């Protein structure tokens, strides 16, 4: 680290910028929120009175004192804003989904390489308490070979809100929203699947875009085969399913509840508050002993920490560590998101080429 902090400029101060990016990056030593591009300066200054507010992207990327640009705009603006920042010589973090499609993603990847700048996607759910614990559970080998994973992100939001995420505009809908997280987690655990089949629907009264998806990933070759992974999200689940269900050749693991960091950030808390990221809900093993009898054991959930993402971004910019979500990973995920949309449109499983 240097004595002079890296200065970040945030584009957009809607839900993502206000809730996830500004408070999290500001908790990182050596990283400072210096400016926000927003049409609502009063909203920014209510939270960050000392931060400069500029009217648009052009004004932000023109500032010579900005090292990192964080893109927290509606999804359709991710590509043009990130492109402008990279062309201005800035390092860039883009909220998920990376872009609208894989063509845009590849263009940004090439631009970051040409300009020798860090470009990363904000996959904060890699730092969820439950996901970190799931990685630990699988690495322990206690379940034997995993054969089935079910990953749910269920909510009960029956009313359709007037916001861009729920309108028929490019980049809206639940698949690219929550699907970006669940699919990324599956790939982190098991790699690229052999086939993907996606079903989507608009289930709520008045819904204009999909508010439900159910994806099946099949692993038929390689070290994890045979394996099935189910990714599921809905906005009409008054009684949510477990967050994770894993079955293996020696037992099962079940985890209820979701990581507490989003709720804490929504409530205005800022890391590092006492007990930040601690999940009070343990998971549970059901292991089968040599006598065939089930053995039940609680699995403590380790704490999550979104701050670790921006610590890694700081270190990558300074040349002290790897990019936590490099463009190659983001491009590969956009390929899978695009394949999912093709599968839903055609009503069939799509075979996926592996490198």
The CATH number assigned to the domain holding 114 equals 3.40.50.720
Q: Residue 290 — pLDDT band, cuts 50, 70, 90?
A: confident
292 Rama class: left (phi>0) / alpha (psi -120 to 50) / beta: left
The CATH number assigned to the domain holding 217 equals 3.30.360.10
Same domain, 110 and 195: no
Closest to 270 (Cα-Cα) out of 307, 301, 302: 307
Q: Residue 310 — pLDDT band, cuts 50, 70, 90?
A: very high
Same domain, 42 and 81: yes
Structure tokens at 159: 């009313």
Same domain, 117 and 203: no
What Cα–Cα distance (Å) separates residue 241 from each residue in 149, 253, 260, 279?
Answer: 13, 14, 17, 17
Q: Is 208 exposed, middle or buried (0-12, 13-18, 19+ CB in 10 A)?
A: middle
Half-sphere exposure of 255 (CA within 13 A, CB side): 29
Residue 168 lies in a domain: yes
Same domain, 239 and 342: yes
pLDDT one-digit tens code per residue, 249-265: 999 999 999 999 999 99
pLDDT one-digit tens code per residue, 7-27: 999 999 999 999 999 999 999
Number of domains in the chain: 2
Percentage, residues of the chain above pLDDT 90 = 94
Same domain, 214 and 289: yes
pLDDT one-digit tens code per residue, 134-163: 999 999 999 999 999 999 999 999 999 989
Same domain, 21 and 161: no
Same domain, 104 and 246: no
Same domain, 160 and 289: yes
Q: Is 230 exposed, middle or buried (0-12, 13-18, 19+ CB in 10 A)?
A: middle
Residue 266 lies in a domain: no
What domain range includes position 27?
A: 6-124+308-324
Q: Is the pTM here over 0.85, yes or no?
A: yes
pLDDT of residue 2 exceeding 70, the answer is no
Residue 75 lies in a domain: yes
Mean of all residue pLDDT scores within the chain = 96
Q: Residue 354 — pLDDT band, cuts 50, 70, 90?
A: confident
Percentage, residues of the chain above pLDDT 70 = 99
Same domain, 75 and 100: yes
**The tokens 């999909």 sit on which residue?**
210
Distance in angstroms (rounded) separating the CA atoms of residues 326 and 169: 27
What Cα–Cα distance (Å) separates residue 316 from each residue in 8, 26, 64, 94, 322?
Answer: 14, 17, 20, 15, 5
Same domain, 285 and 165: yes
Same domain, 318 and 179: no
Residue 331 lies in a domain: no
Same domain, 54 and 90: yes
Closest to 151 (Cα-Cα) out of 188, 195, 186, 127: 186
Handedness of CA 68, 74, 78, 84 (dihedral sign): negative
Q: Residue 247 — pLDDT band, cuts 50, 70, 90?
A: very high
Distance in angstroms (rounded) separating the CA atoms of residues 108 and 245: 36
**Between residues 224 and 1, which one has the greater pLDDT?**
224
């Amino acid at each position: 680290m240097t004595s002079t902090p890296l200065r970040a400029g945030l584009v957009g101060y809607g839900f993502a910028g206000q809730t996830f990016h500004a408070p999290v990056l500001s908790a990182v030593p050596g990283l400072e929120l210096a400016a926000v591009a927003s049409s609502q300066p009063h909203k920014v200054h209510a939270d960050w009175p000392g931060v400069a507010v500029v009217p648009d992207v052009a004004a932000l990327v023109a500032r010579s004192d900005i090292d990192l640009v964080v893109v927290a705009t509606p999804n359709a603006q991710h590509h043009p804003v990130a492109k402008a920042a990279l062309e201005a010589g800035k390092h860039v973090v883009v909220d998920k989904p990376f872009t609208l499609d894989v063509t845009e993603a590849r263009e940004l990847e090439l631009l970051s390489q040409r300009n020798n700048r860090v470009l990363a996607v904000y996959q904060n759910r890699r730092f969820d308490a439950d996901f970190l614990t799931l990685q630990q559970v699988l690495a322990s080998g206690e379940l034997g070979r995993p054969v089935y994973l079910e990953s749910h992100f269920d909510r009960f939001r029956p009313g359709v809100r007037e916001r861009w995420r729920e309108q028929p505009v490019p980049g809206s809908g639940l698949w690219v929203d929550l699907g970006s997280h669940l699919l990324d987690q599956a790939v982190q655990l098991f790699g690229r699947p052999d086939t993907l089949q996606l079903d989507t629907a608009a289930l709520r009264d008045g819904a204009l875009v999909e508010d439900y998806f159910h994806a099946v990933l099949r692993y038929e070759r390689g070290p994890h085969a045979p394996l099935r992974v189910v990714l599921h999200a809905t906005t009409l689940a008054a009684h949510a399913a477990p967050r994770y269900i894993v079955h293996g050749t020696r037992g099962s693991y079940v985890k209820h509840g979701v990581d507490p960091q989003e709720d804490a950030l929504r409530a205005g808390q800022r890391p590092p508050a006492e007990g930040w990221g601690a999940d009070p809900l343990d998971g549970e093993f059901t292991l089968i002993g040599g006598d065939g009898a089930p053995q039940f054991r609680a699995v403590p959930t380790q704490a999550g920490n979104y701050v670790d993402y921006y610590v890694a971004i700081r270190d990558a910019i300074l040349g002290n560590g790897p990019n936590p979500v490099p463009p190659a990973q983001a491009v590969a995920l956009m390929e899978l998101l695009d394949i999912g949309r093709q599968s839903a449109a055609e009503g069939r499983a799509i075979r996926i080429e592996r490198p």
